[in-house]
Chain A
């Protein structure tokens, strides 16, 4: 079965510290991989995506993610977190039916 696991429900980091959000997936092949961010009261904004090629992908707002086939992972990173990054982050895979399958999300809090 296709699934996405985000092991961390809630993470708190200090402003200026580095960030890594974990994402693992289960899929028969290499899926399309996405990270979305949702600020309170808002919809989902696409941060970055991976389809093929270079396994390190750059996104908006200074985020990057690395695809590791051997670990079935697609972790999101940012070298220095800003207070405005506080939000909920969702990892998703492009399913075989043409839709997205989401993880349950990781809520990021940023300490001043």
Chain B
């Protein structure tokens, strides 16, 4: 069974440029999460989707971050414009509502220079 797939794995961009990350969850998982992991820290939730609906986006910096999950399957997280402080790992995860277990992808490692 395929796990959570993320791309790109690594991205280096200049500040003020846009960047987008893509995530395909485990098949059948209705809940999708985007987490932010800063260096030396544990992941923190950015946004959680139940199917197509963003049910918790309280920690998403909406001035520069946006996300979408069209058709309730894969999702895209965008940053525009990127700042130096956005250098981090962006982790996508998914879960099934009958199993309280969250499975993570390999992460998208962003460096802003």
In the complex, what's the smallest C-beta–C-beta distance from B13 to chain A, in angstroms?
Answer: 19
Could you tell me the distance between the alpha carbons of A51 and B45 in the complex, rounded to whole angstroms? 21
Stretch at the interface among B14-22, B66-74, B78-86, B100-108: B100-108
Q: Is B31 an interface residue (CB 8 A)?
A: yes
Q: Which of A41, A51, A99, A102 contacts B42 (CB 8 A)?
A: A102
Contact B40 A99 (CB under 8 A): no
Task: Give residues of chain A (44-76) contacting chain B, Cβ–Cβ below 8 Å.
Answer: 44-46, 49, 51
| B-side contacts of A41, CB under 8 Å | 109
In the complex, what's the smallest C-beta–C-beta distance from B34 to chain A, in angstroms?
Answer: 11
Contact B56 A99 (CB under 8 A): yes
Interface size of A by Cβ–Cβ distance < 8 Å?
23
Contact B102 A97 (CB under 8 A): no
State the main secondary structure of chain B at its contact with A.
Answer: strand
Contact B42 A105 (CB under 8 A): yes
In the complex, what's the smallest C-beta–C-beta distance from B12 to chain A, in angstroms?
Answer: 15
Contact A94 B100 (CB under 8 A): yes
| A-side contacts of B33, CB under 8 Å | 99
In the complex, what's the smallest C-beta–C-beta distance from A68 to chain B, in angstroms?
Answer: 21
Could you tell me the distance between the alpha carbons of A8 and B38 in the complex, rounded to whole angstroms? 18
Q: Which of A41, A43, A51 has the most CB of B within 10 A?
A: A43
Can you give 8 A-B contacts (C-beta < 8 A)? A34-B101, A34-B102, A43-B4, A43-B91, A44-B93, A49-B101, A99-B56, A105-B40
Q: What 8 A-B pairs have minimum CB-CB distances, sorted nearest first? A: A102-B42, A44-B104, A43-B106, A43-B104, A43-B107, A99-B45, A104-B42, A32-B100
